[in-house]
Amino acid sequence: MTIEEIYEDDLIDRFVDDLTPIELDFLENEDNELNTCNKCNIIKNTWDTDEFKWDCDHDLKGYTALCCDCYSELGCKSFYEMGLDC
């Protein structure tokens, strides 16, 4: 497999530790819209707000970005729910 044969959708919902070296290179060095959860390292689309939460809109208990599973597990809340302006 070459880097040209890898697509973002191939990596979504996988864990960083499970990637092949070429997939890891794609994730870390190619221009893409993927990010990882800071707690569990699952890969998600940066802009999918149903799957990924950022610390600019949510209290993430010290994390920068969390997938929804970790968000729920930690009991995080949006600043809006807390009555705070972003």
Is the pLDDT reported for residue 71 higher than 80?
Answer: yes
pLDDT score recorded for residue 9 = 94
Asked if the structure places residue 35 within a domain, the reply is yes
Asked if the structure places residue 52 within a domain, the reply is yes
Question: Is the Cβ–Cβ distance between 44 and 14 less than 8 Å?
Answer: no
Domain range for 31 is 3-78
Is the pLDDT reported for residue 85 higher than 70?
Answer: no
Asked if the structure places residue 8 within a domain, the reply is yes
Asked if the structure places residue 86 within a domain, the reply is no
- Which residue did the predictor score with more confidence, 28 or 82? 28
Asked if the structure places residue 50 within a domain, the reply is yes
How many domains are contained in the chain?
1
**What average pLDDT score do residues 54-64 get?**
94
pLDDT score recorded for residue 49 = 76
* 37-62 per-residue burial string, b: 16 or more CB within 10 A, e: under 16: bebeebbbbeeeeebbbebeebbbee
Asked if the structure places residue 49 within a domain, the reply is yes
Is the pLDDT reported for residue 86 higher than 60?
Answer: no
Is the pLDDT reported for residue 46 higher than 90?
Answer: no
Report the distance separating Cα 52 and Cα 58, nearest Å: 11
